[in-house]
Chain A
Amino acid sequence: MDLAVIERSVALIGAIVVGVFASIALKEDWHAKGLDNNTTKLLLGLMAFGCIMVFFAAIGVIGPKG
């Protein structure tokens, strides 16, 4: 098995798992107030966006040409 395929598969599954957990955490903390909670929400949200990016990269939708 090609190493790249293994890496991509693990990344694909991981992106889904991590993304789901991050979204759950975001949902739970949605109404929390305070500078620390709001900063956490922002950063977790951006990180979840990162998971989405990895997901699309793993299935080849985004990425450098060729």
Chain B
Amino acid sequence: MTTAAVEHGHGPGDEHDHDDGHEEVIYRETTDMRLLGFVLFLCSDVVLFSAFIFAYLYLRGTVDEWPPILNGHQLPRLDLPFAEFNSIVLFGSGVTMHHALENWKHGKVGRFDFFMGFTIVLGVMFLGGQGYEYSHAAIGGWSGSIFGASFFTLTGMHGFHVFCGVVYLAILWWQTKQKHYDQTHYFGLTAGTLYWHFVDVIWVALFFLFYIF
């Protein structure tokens, strides 16, 4: 307990600090922290969707028939074939994003560019597809029934997340052009990939809940 008594101080911000010539002080690498923070953020986002999914299932449990009756007629089911197509568009973009990151890690910037562009295009295609789905879904609108309420709110939140993801990926791509990342420091690309996969997986749940179940 006595060695603490007198150690000549060094100013804060020293790059290297020698402890009486023994240990060299190392500085904390922040990638681990940022990764944990980002994953925790994704967890909290999962809770957001889970809460609305609970609301959907709860409301669905209050009616005998699904889709529910509106103005005396039962509402139609959603367009499953189109959703199958749009889902593959989104899942495909997940695979292309994975390949983009892998190519970046191995320094193949040209292939990274190709896959990154492909991912963004597929993401925009998905959003366009959702726009098409919204325009021809005949379920009484957002405020017509609990079907519209849960479907448009949940897929709308998801679509908003996809939109933010597309913007995020575009910014990341631009940053790579600015030489902001290299093969050892690319946390932004890791975060973007994880976010994109997260958005993908939420859609797996929503596709099942609204189109299959």
CB-contact partner of A50 in B77, B80, B87, B198, under 8 A: B87
* B199-213 contact mask (Cβ, 8 Å, vs A): 1 or 0: 011011001100111
Contact B193 A40 (CB under 8 A): yes
Residue of B nearest to A62 (CB): B212
CB distance from A6 to the nearest CB of B (A): 8
Residues on B with C-beta less than 8 A from A50 are 87, 91, 200-201, 203-204, 207
Chain A: CB-nearest residue to B87: A54
Question: A47–B84 contact, CB under 8 A?
Answer: no
B201 near A36: Cβ-Cβ < 8 Å: no
Count of B interface residues, CB-CB < 8 Å: 36
Please determine whether B200 and A11 come into contact, CB atoms closer than 8 angstroms. no
B109 at the interface (CB under 8 A from A): no
Of all chain B residues, the one with the shortest Cβ separation from A52 is B204
- Chain B min CB distance to A65 (Å): 9
Contact of A18 among B35, B88, B198 (CB under 8 A): B88
B207 contact set on A, CB distance < 8 A: 50, 53-54
Bound complex: CA A64 to CA B82 (Å): 15
> Is there a chain A Cβ closer than 8 Å to B95's Cβ?
yes
A40 touching B80, Cβ below 8 Å: no
Q: Chain A: interface secondary structure? A: helix
The smallest C-beta distance from B183 to any residue of chain A, in angstroms, reads 15
- Which residues of B in the span 96-132 have a Cβ within 8 Å of any Cβ on A? 98-99, 102
What are the interface flags for A25-49 relative to B under an 8 Å C-beta threshold, 1 for contact and 0 otherwise?
1000000000110011001101101
Enumerate chain B residues within 8 angstroms of A7, measured Cβ to Cβ. 81-82, 84-85
Chain B residues, CB < 8 A from A14: 85, 88-89, 91-92
Smallest CB gap from B199: residue in A: A43
Q: Is B94 an interface residue (CB 8 A)?
A: yes
User: Could you say which residues of chain B place their CB within 8 Å of the CB of A1?
Assistant: none
Could you tell me which B residues sit within 8 Å of A by CB distance? 32, 35-36, 39, 42, 77, 79-82, 84-85, 87-89, 91-92, 94-95, 98-99, 102, 190, 193-194, 197-198, 200-201, 203-204, 207-208, 211-213
A-B contact pairs, 14 of them (CB 8 A): A7-B81, A18-B91, A22-B91, A35-B39, A36-B190, A44-B197, A47-B197, A47-B200, A47-B201, A57-B84, A57-B212, A58-B84, A64-B80, A64-B213
Question: Which residues of A are in contact with B by a Cβ distance under 8 Å?
Answer: 3-5, 7-8, 10-12, 14-15, 17-18, 21-22, 25, 35-36, 39-40, 43-44, 46-47, 49-51, 53-54, 57-58, 62-64
